[in-house]
Amino acid sequence: MLRDAVRPLGEKIARRQLAVVLSGVRQILGGGRSENLYLHIREAIQKLPLNTPPRLLDFGCGSMALGARLYHDGLISAYLGVDTFIMNPESQNVLAEGCSYQQVSDLGQVSGLGKFDVVMLIDVIHHITPEKHAQTLRILAATSSYVLVKDHFEEGMVSRTLLRLADWFGNYAYGVSIPRRYFSKVSWQGLLDSANLEELIRKTPLVIHNGLFGRILPSKYHFISVLKSRSHKLA
C-alpha cells in the first residue's frame, strides 16, 4: 500500500505531532486515497499513445510514493520528482534505482531539468497562486509531450468548504497553504485557453477516498485531465 504522507518519511514536518494524529484518524475512518489514486493514474498513463514507458516528471512530488510505484511496476522508464523541500541524505539514499529528486525554489528552474514524455501534477495546481496557474502549465507543457493533472472541481460554497477542510486535514500539518477556492468546469477551461493547452482526456467523477472520507468528498469533486500544448507537435 502507498502512504498518504505529503513529505518523505524522515523529512522536516512543520507540525509533526499533528501529522501523526491526523494520519491515525485517517486510518481509523478509512480515508486513505493512495490505492485508488494510483489505479486512476496508472490507467491514464497506459492510455497515452506512447511506444515505450515514458520518462516522468512529477511536479510537486511530495513523498514520491506514487512515482516510485509507477517505476517499480514498469509503467515509466525514469522518474524525477521535484518539490520545494530540501531532501536529507538519508531519504536520498533509499530512492529506488531510476528515481531521483530535485529541489526547486523557482518555476524557471524547471526548463533546465531536460525533456520528459509526461509531467504530472497530483493535487498540486490548486496550491499555486492563481495568477501563476497559466504560466505554470505553459512551462511544464514546454518540457513534456503530455501534462497529466489530478485536481478538484467545486460546485459552490458547500463543496468548496468541504474541499478546504480536506486540504487542511491532509496538508496543514506539513506547512502547505490551503487554497481559498478550487476550479469550476468553466474556470478550468478558461485556464487551459489561457495556457494554450488542448485537453485530450478528462475523466470525472473519480472514486478517490474510501470510508467516511468518500462520503464527505464524493467522486464528482475529483478529475483527471490529460493535456498537450497547442503550440508544438508531440515528440
- pLDDT of 73 over the 60 cut: yes
Q: What is the percent of the chain with per-residue pLDDT over 90, rounded to a whole number? A: 61
pLDDT 10s digits, 176-232: 788 999 999 999 999 999 999 999 999 999 999 877 777 778 899 999 999 999 986
pLDDT 10s digits, 77-131: 999 999 988 887 767 766 777 899 999 989 999 999 999 999 999 999 999 999 9
Domain spanning 16-229, CATH class: alpha beta
In eight-state DSSP terms, residue 153 is B
Q: What is the pTM of this model?
A: 0.87
Residue 1 confidence (pLDDT): 36
Residue 234 confidence (pLDDT): 44
Sheet holding 144-152, edge to edge: 99-103, 78-83, 55-59, 116-122, 144-152, 222-229, 197-203
- pLDDT of 235 over the 50 cut: no
CA 48 to chain centre: 18
Q: What is the percent of the chain with per-residue pLDDT over 70, rounded to a whole number? A: 80
Lowest mean pLDDT segment, chosen from 11-25, 77-91, 102-116, 133-147:
11-25
- pLDDT of 38 over the 80 cut: yes
Distance from C-alpha of 75 to C-alpha of 52, rounded to nearest angstrom: 9
CA 120 to chain centre: 6
Pair 84, 110: CB distance under 8 Å? no
Average pLDDT (22-29) is 57
Distance from C-alpha of 82 to C-alpha of 105, rounded to nearest angstrom: 10
One-letter amino acid identity for 216? Answer: I
Residue 4 confidence (pLDDT): 57
Residue 59 confidence (pLDDT): 97
Backbone angles phi, psi at 227, to 5 degrees: -125, 160
